[in-house]
Amino acid sequence: MRDSVGCLLMAVDGRTGRIIHFDITPQTDRTQWDAFLGLLSDLVNPLGIVHPGHPVLEEALGIVFTGVPRQLCIKHFLSALYQYLRSFQMSPLGPGTVEMRFYRAVSQCLKAGNFKQALMLYQSLKTNPEFATDALDSPLRWFQERFPLLTTHYVVEGMPSEGWLADRAISEIVIRLRTSQSVLERPTALKIIRAHWNEMEKLLGDQAAARAHIERASVQKNSALLSLTSF
């Protein structure tokens, strides 16, 4: 959803949850992401990046952080897959439907204990005749295309499989701004953040202070794993 309130862009240290960079922009188009990531590149040299998979964000990441390993957030991917499969039925997926069995097979694959097990489940899923239907042709091809990005965390040490730290940071900001309004409603949350912008900057530190802090902590700068989100 996009409205007059704007969009919150945020980069969080994927190990500690510390907010490295944030901004509120009119929208999340390529120009906004290019500017956001350009400033972020001055603050940190990431060893890996977890992101929600927005196409324009992926394009911008490929330019600004060329060669940096990227992990597509499993939680965001599974949520998008569920909504897509649900659109076939216009109702929650029933436990006995082939769409739900496909969803569970994908989820099991992506939550495997190691890459060898994930690859085995992936190959089994691809060749399962039950999933060779017209309805599942598109989501199966989508999963196949995204599989390398969904399994980066198996081969990059310390890489999270999900971007929950960045999502949690947004909720914590709203809570810390002492409001009783729902943090689940995006327009409300952004209005709260806008209304308390000065206090928010005081809580997180301004960008110059954040840059100086990271430059002093050279070990932390070199070993950062980023988690990105937009809200």
Total H helices, total E strands in the chain: 11, 5
- Give the model confidence (pLDDT) of 186-212 as tens digits: 555 556 555 655 555 555 554 444 444
Higher-pLDDT residue of 26 and 68 is: 68
Cα–chain center distance at 173: 18
**What pTM does this model have?**
0.77
Gap between the terminal Cα atoms of the chain: 9
> What distance in Å separates the CA atoms of residue 77 and residue 69, rounded to the nearest whole number?
17
- Give the model confidence (pLDDT) of 58-73 as tens digits: 999 999 999 999 999 9
Mean pLDDT of 119-139: 94
Q: What tokens were used for 147?
A: 């599989």
Domain ranges of the chain: 7-69+158-230, 74-154
What percent of the chain is predicted at pLDDT more than 70? 70
Helix axes 98-110, 115-127, angle to 10 degrees: 160
> What distance in Å separates the CA atoms of residue 119 and residue 100, rounded to the nearest whole number?
21
| φ and ψ at residue 92, rounded to 5 degrees | -55, 145
> What distance in Å separates the CA atoms of residue 140 and residue 101, rounded to the nearest whole number?
13
Q: What tokens were used for 79?
A: 């949520």
Q: Say whether 117 sits in a helix, a strand or coil.
A: helix
